[in-house]
């Protein structure tokens, strides 16, 4: 049983590869290295460099490594960027997935785990988002993830491919400093960047209909997210033909202001945040009900927000030693 992980050289992918290996699974990474790094691929794990748009290269990789399961993480994931470049997002995230599924079904691969996103929900007006909450994505990025779920589900029903679409909520932290997210496109690293520049963190909008006026999100440690992929992979292998769609979150909402307060406490920087204008498209609250994942998978998140912030900060300091707070 060998799992091919597309995007396995990326931030989340590198954690999934290690979690699968720790569970005794054979893996091979398929990555175009556009944002991933070969240095993140563990020794002993083969790396095939290529795009999911290259059907022949994928077919060869599936055959060469006798792949029986695929975890598909490779995608463009900047919601803001997708508004300006929708065709690039549809090409990479939807056409790339279609090409991959063509190769997967031709090679009789049995199981397929798909990286989806809470972005499919758009602006849900509920306390806790369940998998039955209407999906009204607000960005082309979110649309491509929802369309991806449709492609995956329809292919599973037509061919018997066992599928699981995992809707990630807000991913943070690192299993080790060298695996930290090198990107600065989400709250925690964006606050780190401001503190490193000795500039105050920015709160994008403090007039939302939430307890402290700032947006509320559901943060999940990347190590817990990786374990959810292992659990889903093992469930699909044991129950062919399964079709799962699962929220991967912790069910706990944390506001931007709370997060920034905790980040500054962990980092030792005591710069008070400033309020900036709202960011277009930001929902006031997106918090998961993870009940279905807890029921369907042998999985339970183990890390809290403090673990996420602390591990992310250790990773940040490894790349930005100048960020350490002055005594
Ligand atoms: C969180 C909150 C910001 C920076 C992301 C991505 C996408 C998807 C879901 C996977 C928002 C606020 C941020 C700052 C701030 N994940 N903020 N000051 O937008 O919830 O969604 O996760 O598919 O990757 O879209 O995450 O970290 O960008 O923002 O006030 O300096 O923090 O406005 O309310 P988001 P985020």
Q: What percent of the chain has pLDDT over 70?
A: 100
- The CA distance from 262 to 280, in Å, is 25
Residue 326 has pLDDT above 80, yes or no: no
Q: Are strands 216-221 and 253-255 parallel, antiparallel or unpaired?
A: antiparallel
User: CB under 6 Å to ligand 1: residues?
Assistant: 77, 79, 117-119, 168, 170, 186-187, 190-191, 202-204, 215, 217, 256, 279, 282
Residue 241 has pLDDT above 80, yes or no: no
The C-alpha angle 146, 214, 269, rounded to 5 degrees, equals 110
- 190 Cα to the center of ligand 1, angstroms: 10
In contact, 273 and 202? CB cutoff 8 Å: yes
Ligand 1 atom 29, closest CA: 187
Ligand 1 atom 1, closest CA: 187
pLDDT of residue 327: 65
Q: What percent of the chain has pLDDT over 90?
A: 93
pLDDT of residue 134: 97
Q: Per residue in 272-318, pLDDT tens?
A: 999 999 998 899 999 999 999 999 999 999 999 999 999 999 999 99
In contact, 173 and 122? CB cutoff 8 Å: no
Q: Per residue in 37-60, pLDDT tens?
A: 999 999 999 999 999 999 999 999
Q: Per residue in 122-140, pLDDT tens?
A: 999 999 999 999 999 999 9
In contact, 162 and 242? CB cutoff 8 Å: yes
CATH classification for the domain delimited by 173-217+251-286+303-324, as one of 3.40.1390.20, 2.60.120.650, 3.90.25.10, 3.40.47.10: 3.90.25.10
Quickly state the pLDDT bin for 1 (edges 50, 70, 90). Answer: confident
Mean pLDDT of 195-215: 97
Domain ranges of the chain: 2-171+219-248, 173-217+251-286+303-324
pLDDT of residue 70: 98
Can you name the residues that pair with 163 across neighbouring β-strands? 112, 243
In contact, 181 and 170? CB cutoff 8 Å: no
Residue 239 has pLDDT above 90, yes or no: no
- 228 Cα to the center of ligand 1, angstroms: 21
* Dihedral of alpha carbons 111, 116, 120, 124, sign: positive
Q: Per residue in 97-127, pLDDT tens?
A: 999 999 999 998 999 999 999 999 999 999 9
Residue range 2-171+219-248, CATH number: 3.40.50.720
Q: Per residue in 62-84, pLDDT tens?
A: 999 999 999 999 999 999 899 99
For the entire predicted model, the pTM comes to 0.96
- 186 Cα to the center of ligand 1, angstroms: 5
Strand order in the sheet with 47-49: 47-49, 26-31, 2-6, 67-72, 111-117, 162-168, 243-248
Cα-to-chain-centroid distance, residue 39 = 20
């Amino acid at each position: 049983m060998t799992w091919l992980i597309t995007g396995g050289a990326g931030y989340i992918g590198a954690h999934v590869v290690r979690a699968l290996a720790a569970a005794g699974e054979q893996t091979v990474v398929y990555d175009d290295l556009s944002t991933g790094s070969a240095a993140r691929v563990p020794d002993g794990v083969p790396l095939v460099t290529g795009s999911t748009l290259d059907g022949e290269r994928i077919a060869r990789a599936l055959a060469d490594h006798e792949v029986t399961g695929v975890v598909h993480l490779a995608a463009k994931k900047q919601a803001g960027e997708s508004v300006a470049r929708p065709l690039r997002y549809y090409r990479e995230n939807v056409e790339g997935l279609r090409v991959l599924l063509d190769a997967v079904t031709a090679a009789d691969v049995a199981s397929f785990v798909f990286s989806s996103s809470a972005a499919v929900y758009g602006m849900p007006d509920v306390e806790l988002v369940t998998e039955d909450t209407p999906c009204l994505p607000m960005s082309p990025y979110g649309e491509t993830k929802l369309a991806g779920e449709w492609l995956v589900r329809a292919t599973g029903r037509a061919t018997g491919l066992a599928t699981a679409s995992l809707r990630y909520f807000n991913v943070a932290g690192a299993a080790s400093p060298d695996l930290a997210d090198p990107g600065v496109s989400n709250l925690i690293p964006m606050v780190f960047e401001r503190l490193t520049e000795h500039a105050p963190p920015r709160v994008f909008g403090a007039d939302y209909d939430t307890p402290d006026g700032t947006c509320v999100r559901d943060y999940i440690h990347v190590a817990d997210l990786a374990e959810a992929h292992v659990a889903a992979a093992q469930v699909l292998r044991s129950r062919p033909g399964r079709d799962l769609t699962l929220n991967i979150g912790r069910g706990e909402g944390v506001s931007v202001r709370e997060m920034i307060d905790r980040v500054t406490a962990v980092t030792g920087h005591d710069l008070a945040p400033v309020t900036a204008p709202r960011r277009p498209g930001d929902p006031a609250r997106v918090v998961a009900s993870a009940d279905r994942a807890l029921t369907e998978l042998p999985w339970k998140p183990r890390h809290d927000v403090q673990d996420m912030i602390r591990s992310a900060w250790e990773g940040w300091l490894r790349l930005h030693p100048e960020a350490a707070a002055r005594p």
